[in-house]
Structure 1
């Protein structure tokens, strides 16, 4: 068999592209060489391979180039005579278009823009409420003992979200405690009341910063991980496989992650409170406040009501982080870019949920006089 060769048999607006010889890498003409010989008036190209010998990927590359050139010039390219395997490769390469940025036309009026934004917001709220409802029903079934939630999964996610997060929680909490102490010392020094820096740090940590900073850390660490895990399962059709087997994805995938955060967040919140107070003690020591004075002042400033307010916040924060991360993962697309977007959306949603919920809790505590 001879080396790779081709010829054009033109007939009015139709031509035959006859492929012959052995098409091997380094010995075959490229697609531009083939398309240059096709007459300008051609409207259909029939590929003829009766004389084709051995071939490898060089033939597939050449035919792919011809297919794309034909499509851009509105020319029909018939590959019915091509071997079945090569046909599948060409269809796979040509049926899926290359990614192109969407060139959406801007709304012509403010009314159109507002309407479009409100519609998108309404759909997002509807999806979120539906997800919350499904999760609530799954939680009720779990409390009744009828949910398809494995206990081993709950312990696994507790370990993932709890002990493995202690290092970053420790670092952030001790720095937050030191920052609060330094900020308070600016005014307290002017009044000669440096000892009250313990009140500022302890109340700030147990009522606000301990729960909120821990939640923000977990949103960026655990919430994004949940979205990436479930998003990858969505890409690999694993979630669809669970549905085919009759296993609810909310009970099997979402509920263990949410329960793990609900169990872990209060403990991490208490730990962050203690570490933050220790950080404040380091700063207070530089303000001529002894450790004994600091501890006694902290005991007078903080009671169990203050501690419970932060713990209650942390429980709800854990639920919100799980909802944001798992919802973003389950609504993920079917490609790698969608997984990255799901992780980003999970963190953004979780932080928005946390800030809104924290403001709502503070207003509620104020109205209740807590």
Structure 2
């Protein structure tokens, strides 16, 4: 390449009298067949210390990403040498794309910033926790108001939705509840039999399984099953409605989303959980009975009599109370995470996962609290 002192010279790079370099872009600038390599321009500008680099594009025909790659490299070279890059004569599309490409390194540099100080991270985490608490309390307040509207007959939701949710939460969950409950009863009976057989007290396997399943384990296992099955479904469905802006549409129409979406789910799960708990208790006792009768050679009538003597009515009521509380907690967790869902497909999956985790944690905490209260009351 040659460098000329006048603009009449047909060379690609022209040095004007004021020290400005002018690069003429002529012909087709396509990827793989650039008329002028960047290295030639860099070599021609070496040691010349130009003030400004501008372009002449009157003879430029067609161009694609090859021109953009050439201009990006040339702009980087000018930035390194302190040369003003004048893109005023470039095509409008090339100018816009060049500006867009120049913004990418700034975003990458922003992600590579140094880690924030410890106190700042602690403060951010504390503010995040506080916001979560405020959102939860706000949600509970809205649910309380919705329950008040329900008691006064002003809650707005479709009764057909309530019956459909009850069917899904109740009859739809029977297969998995049956399987898990029978297996839990089998495990309790087998573990208890290993220890009790050392003292010749295998008959007390019936008491162990009956009290454990009826009093708390039946409700806990049912609650965990419903948290993974129904709580996640609540979060996913409401989260999908959030993504599709259906919840915004309900609010625009003057229909409270908590009334229409949350209230029927809370009612359905609260009503179905005690029934599922009773069914789980029966399945768990049958699982223990299978171990006692077929493995320990216990008499069927004797096993049932020991179960009847060990399990009292108060144990059933405590188990039912556990299950009703768990139903409310699972429904609240699923609906809360669904309403908090973001506006993307991945956010729906995150909401479902968070609903399961939140529901299980709430079940364990509630179990501990109820157990302490029962111990204080002596029941």
Confirm or deny that 1:197 pairs with 2:209.
no
Per-residue deviation, 1:197: 0.6
Aligned twin of 2:159: 151
Give runs of aligned pairs for residues 27-176 of structure 1, distance below 5 A: 29=66, 31-33=68-70, 35-36=72-73, 40=78, 41-43=83-85, 45-46=87-88, 66-72=98-104, 104-108=115-119, 116-176=124-184
For the 8 Å contact 1:16–1:46, the answer to whether it is kept is no
Aligned twin of 1:288: 297
What SS does the corresponding residue of 1:333 show, helix, strand or coil? coil
Per-residue deviation, 1:264: 1.2
For the 8 Å contact 1:203–1:306, the answer to whether it is kept is yes
Per-residue deviation, 1:246: 1.1
For the 8 Å contact 1:18–1:48, the answer to whether it is kept is no
Per-residue deviation, 1:35: 3.5
Per-residue deviation, 1:45: 3.3
For the 8 Å contact 2:54–2:89, the answer to whether it is kept is no
Confirm or deny that 1:321 pairs with 2:315.
no
What SS does the corresponding residue of 1:218 show, helix, strand or coil? helix
Work out the CA distance in 2 between the residues paired with 1:278 and 1:311. 19
Work out the CA distance in 1 between the residues paired with 2:246 and 2:57. 44
User: Relative to structure 1, is the Cα distance of residues 4 and 119 closer, same or farther in structure 2, using a 3 angstrom cutoff?
Assistant: closer
User: Relative to structure 1, is the Cα distance of residues 7 and 137 closer, same or farther in structure 2, using a 3 angstrom cutoff?
Assistant: farther
Work out the CA distance in 2 between the residues paired with 1:153 and 1:101. 50
Per-residue deviation, 1:301: 1.5
For the 8 Å contact 2:52–2:86, the answer to whether it is kept is no
Confirm or deny that 1:339 pairs with 2:376.
no
Per-residue deviation, 1:162: 1.9
For the 8 Å contact 2:223–2:363, the answer to whether it is kept is yes
Per-residue deviation, 1:47: 7.7
Q: Which has the larger radius of gyration?
A: 2
State the Cα deviation string for residues 52-101 of structure 1 (Å, max 9, x = none): xxxxxxx9xx8886344332578xxxxxxxxxxxxxxxxxxxxx99x969
What SS does the corresponding residue of 1:105 show, helix, strand or coil? coil
What SS does the corresponding residue of 1:45 show, helix, strand or coil? coil
Per-residue deviation, 1:173: 0.7
Per-residue deviation, 1:305: 1.5
1:254 to 262, 265, 286: 262
User: Relative to structure 1, is the Cα distance of residues 32 and 265 closer, same or farther in structure 2, using a 3 angstrom cutoff?
Assistant: same
Per-residue deviation, 1:217: 0.9
1:364 to 355, 360, 373: 373
Unpaired segments of 5 or more residues in structure 2?
A: 1-26, 37-50
Per-residue deviation, 1:210: 0.4
Unpaired segments of 5 or more residues in structure 1?
A: 51-58, 75-95
Work out the CA distance in 2 between the residues paired with 1:44 and 1:134. 59
For the 8 Å contact 1:18–1:49, the answer to whether it is kept is no
For the 8 Å contact 1:7–1:18, the answer to whether it is kept is no
2:339 to 330, 343, 363: 330
Aligned residues: 331
Aligned twin of 2:14: none
Work out the CA distance in 2 between the residues paired with 1:4 and 1:69. 18
User: Relative to structure 1, is the Cα distance of residues 278 and 72 closer, same or farther in structure 2, using a 3 angstrom cutoff?
Assistant: closer
Aligned twin of 1:87: none
For the 8 Å contact 1:7–1:17, the answer to whether it is kept is no
Per-residue deviation, 1:207: 0.6
For the 8 Å contact 2:29–2:35, the answer to whether it is kept is no
What SS does the corresponding residue of 1:247 show, helix, strand or coil? coil
For the 8 Å contact 2:29–2:67, the answer to whether it is kept is no
Confirm or deny that 1:243 pairs with 2:254.
no
Aligned twin of 2:7: none
Work out the CA distance in 2 between the residues paired with 1:102 and 1:257. 45
